[in-house]
Amino acid sequence: MLVLVACGTKITEEDLKNLVFNDATFTYDGEVHSIYVENIYEDKGVVVTYSGNDTAKNPGTYTVTAMISYGDIKINKFALITIPKVKSVLTAPTEQIVYVSNELVNLEYSLDNEKQTVVILNENKIAVTNKEFSKLGTYQLELYAKPTSFYEESNHVFVTLKVVNSKFDVDFKNKTVVEDGTEQEILLNGELPSGYTVEYENNKGTA
């Protein structure tokens, strides 16, 4: 980009050196960002050209050179454009119970974008997949999303996963009662795992 300022009273090299050319930080939005020398004197024949001022689009740090000239006086100024990576947020319940019977376990979590891969670490900081949780037991896990060229590494979430056998010992049997005018019902025998409930239909009658 070329910036021209109308001719007027001569200025000195010190005047050019004192022109302001600041670094700038922009939020990533997919657009090209540029910076410019500030407060160029009015009514002076100053010419400013830029190098690297039309490349700052993706996350990263870009050096921009402002080449300032006035007659035989030529100076360069440098400034940085910084576009930080996008921050991502990972959420997950910290206590999870899953009931399985030789099945794969899917952890519950949510990431605010679809561009990153979620990593699951076991208590030894080794990356694992849901295949590791087919065995019953309690697992201490750490979850995070891997960084990419556009996204930062996400926050880390620590999860306690309990894998419980979905087979349990209960029964529901017929019941014979003596006719005495009282209300009767049949109840499930046995103990259900935490998280299970029972609902009955047509389960009450008068003997």
DSSP 121-190: E-TTS-EE-GGGGSSSEEEEEEEEEPP-SSB-----EEEEEEEEES---EE--------SS-EEE---EE
pLDDT digits (tens, 9 = 90+) for 65-83: 999 999 899 999 999 999 9
pTM, to two decimals: 0.65
> Residue 170's closest CA among 194, 183, 189?
189
Residues 57/32, Cβ–Cβ less than 8 Å: yes
> How far, in Å, CA of 58 to CA of 27, rounded?
10
> Residue 81's closest CA among 99, 65, 102?
65
pLDDT digits (tens, 9 = 90+) for 125-156: 999 987 788 788 899 999 999 999 999 999 99
| % residues pLDDT > 90 (the chain) | 56
> How far, in Å, CA of 75 to CA of 83, rounded?
27
